[in-house]
Amino acid sequence: AQRVTQPEKLLSVFKGAPVELKCNYSYSGSPELFWYVQYSRQRLQLLLRHISRESIKGFTADLNKGETSFHLKKPFAQEEDSAMYYCALRRYGGSQGNLIFGKGTKLSVKP
């Protein structure tokens, strides 16, 4: 079965501390994985995707096929990083936007 698991509902860190939001997936074959973010009072938007191997707003995520993980990391958290984060997996055989989302992790960065 195709599945995305985000084990933490809430993650609270202090400003300047490292942050890691966990994401594990279940998928046969080569997955396409994404991180979406929803800031307060804003639309849900794409943060990054693993195929681009990019760093956005200081965040990176590495696909680890052995551990079936795609954890989102940032070395020094900022208050403006506080948001809801969703890990997503493109459904096998699905169209470009046909994604399976995890339940989300709320990140709270304290001053």
The Cα 63–Cα 50 span in angstroms is: 7
The Cα 29–Cα 47 span in angstroms is: 23
Least separation in angstroms between residue 75's CB and other proteins is: 25
Least separation in angstroms between residue 92's CB and other proteins is: 13
64 or 98: CB nearest other proteins? 98
Asked if 49 interacts with other proteins (CB under 8 A), we say yes
Least separation in angstroms between residue 101's CB and other proteins is: 4
Count of residues of this chain found to bind other proteins when the rule CB under 8 A is applied: 24
The Cα 39–Cα 84 span in angstroms is: 6
> Looking at 71, 83, 102, 109, which residue binds other proteins (CB under 8 A)?
102
Beta strands in 7-80 (DSSP E): 10-14, 19-21, 24-26, 33-38, 45-49, 60-61, 72-74
The Cα 20–Cα 59 span in angstroms is: 9
Asked if 103 interacts with other proteins (CB under 8 A), we say yes
The binding site for other proteins (CB under 8 A) comprises 6, 9, 32, 34, 36, 43-46, 49, 51-52, 86, 90, 95-104
